[in-house]
Chain A
């Protein structure tokens, strides 16, 4: 189920603008990797290149290699849609489909792709995905109610359930807790700890405590100034980044002396 990701010399562009420069890193399967760094340093952009979502923005493209268990995501003839079904994504703001019920939201990945699924299998998939997202007990009595009626934290867990229902190999999370209260944040963090036994998880966060709580390895991104490209400064086990950083920038940032 879980795959490793190897990034080699990746440059990401928005049109002529180089947004992220020369990033190389190896992400182990069944681990949680956190990306930290100041706003605008390209960590979200880099995350989105891992499932080719950044291409949705007109003019955006990437150069370099992203290997998913050895297969290049940016190789010739690779269909971005295939990539995205293997690398799922959870966004900053919870975005359940407003026209669908909770159940249909979980089944969205199956139903929107028009795959046939028996009603029994669908029920099982809904239950296992919602259990996987720690949401089953809260919503099992109202699966037919609209997903937009849930609280923000529940909606975000619904989005995670929706992402794991398509059985991806990797789950990318783009600041999944930044719109949530501390209790919902805790629920999501617990969830990340549980799902890392099955998935490779990559998470972007502005919250350094969160990075230190949930992640095995941490990557620090930084930017030299406005208009300059973002770079990967340091990538190491989380304890090293926070307790024993090798680079001065990293130390300044994690100790709050930044800028």
Chain B
């Protein structure tokens, strides 16, 4: 496969500056050869697609840089080795993502019926599931879980954003490196590392102490999620406030504007796009939490809009219960279908949130339009 070294001498006069470079087709040819050789090697051991890809990649990563190195010298060889390694790492990182999205799409789309989106599981029993014979005839859906996800996340956001925002403002604008600021930074870092189930137990225990044991409402879950969200919001907002140039603050002070007004009217508007996208990413982070909701919100099959009384279901716990305890133990397929469809809905909601974050970031970004 290294026979291509003699090539590269063409009748057309070559520029002295491009002499000794590999022909353009070299790397693609080695790629194709590696795929063929990989298939052959894999067939020797016992063919499988994973083995084929592995062999092809290894052959390519060894031969490609060697060939380039022989033609262009060791610096170019090292350069192409590193380039190929970076691409390989990128592909490795993307494979799980594409695989997840693909699996969820394939399994989720058949279940994405109007029943799924607009009805709850109230009154749906194993009997109904046993009678369902096609994906479209499955009744019952995740409407109550969507409602639960939206309202619990809403309350969590409502509580964590002001706290996180004000904490970040204190850290950046007021603490001046004092001991309190250092302590807050330390504890925020510690909070980032709290396992989510611990946050759930904390909220459950807190409300258990105040309102009696096993108090489970959407609001308890929202408190648990708040504990998880605050550090993310603080960290994000802090970063965004720190990159606001000091010159803007000084310009405002020099106009005789008070500090809190400067923060409110100059610093925050300048950073708002980054803050908004940070908050949205924090929401996207907690919307998929399962463990803390299991111990705080309970599990419901009916629609409950009231976060302050009664149990609630969110999409992750809905998925969990549909998989672990199918509605009809003898025919779990309808439950599986609902679980996949709910997973798809959750991913779509998170993607929509990311999209909203980008739109917000663009809408609020400082305008630099032309002269």
Could you tell me if A162 and B369 are in contact, using CB atoms closer than 8 angstroms? no
Interface residues of B in 328-371 (CB under 8 A from A): 366-371
Chain A residues with Cβ below 8 Å from B248 are 95, 97-98
Chain B residues with Cβ below 8 Å from A112 are 252, 255, 257, 261-262, 265-266
Chain B residues with Cβ below 8 Å from A99 are 266, 269-270, 366-367
| Known contacts A58-B177, A113-B256, A113-B257; is-contact A146 B251 (Cβ 8 Å) | no
Size bin of chain A's contact surface: 20 to 34
Chain A residues with Cβ below 8 Å from B254 are 51, 53, 84, 88-89, 91, 163
Least Cβ distance of B110 to chain A in Å?
48
Chain A residues with Cβ below 8 Å from B261 are 112-114
Q: Does A148 contact B (CB under 8 A)?
A: yes
What total of A-B pairs shows CB separation below 8 Å? 93
Chain A residues with Cβ below 8 Å from B265 are 111-112
Could you tell me if A150 and B251 are in contact, using CB atoms closer than 8 angstroms? no
Chain B residues with Cβ below 8 Å from A182 are none
Q: Does B102 contact A (CB under 8 A)?
A: no
Could you tell me if B371 and A85 are in contact, using CB atoms closer than 8 angstroms? no
Digitize B171-189: 1 where CB-to-A-CB distance is under 8 Å, 0 elsewhere.
0000011000000000000
Closest chain A residue, CB of each to CB of B177: A58
Max count, chain B CB within 10 A of own CB: residue among A51, A91, A97, A162: A97
Chain B residues with Cβ below 8 Å from A114 are 261
| Distance, CA A112 to CA B256, complexed state (A) | 9
Chain B residues with Cβ below 8 Å from A56 are 249-250, 253
Q: Does B247 contact A (CB under 8 A)?
A: yes
Digitize A217-243: 1 where CB-to-B-CB distance is under 8 Å, 0 elsewhere.
000000000000000000000000000
Could you tell me if B256 and A81 are in contact, using CB atoms closer than 8 angstroms? yes
Could you tell me if A91 and B371 are in contact, using CB atoms closer than 8 angstroms? no
Least Cβ distance of A96 to chain B in Å?
8
Closest chain B residue, CB of each to CB of A146: B367
Max count, chain A CB within 10 A of own CB: residue among B251, B253, B256: B256
Chain B residues with Cβ below 8 Å from A34 are none
| Distance, CA A51 to CA B256, complexed state (A) | 10
Interface residues of B in 270-286 (CB under 8 A from A): 270
Can you list 26 A-B pairs, Cβ within 8 angstroms, ordered by A?
A53-B250, A58-B176, A84-B253, A84-B254, A85-B256, A86-B256, A89-B250, A91-B247, A95-B247, A96-B251, A97-B248, A98-B248, A98-B366, A98-B368, A99-B366, A99-B367, A108-B252, A109-B255, A112-B257, A112-B265, A113-B256, A113-B261, A114-B261, A146-B367, A146-B369, A166-B255
> Other CB < 8 Å A-B pairs besides A112-B266, A159-B251, 12 of them?
A53-B250, A53-B254, A81-B258, A95-B247, A95-B251, A97-B248, A98-B367, A108-B255, A112-B265, A146-B367, A149-B370, A166-B255
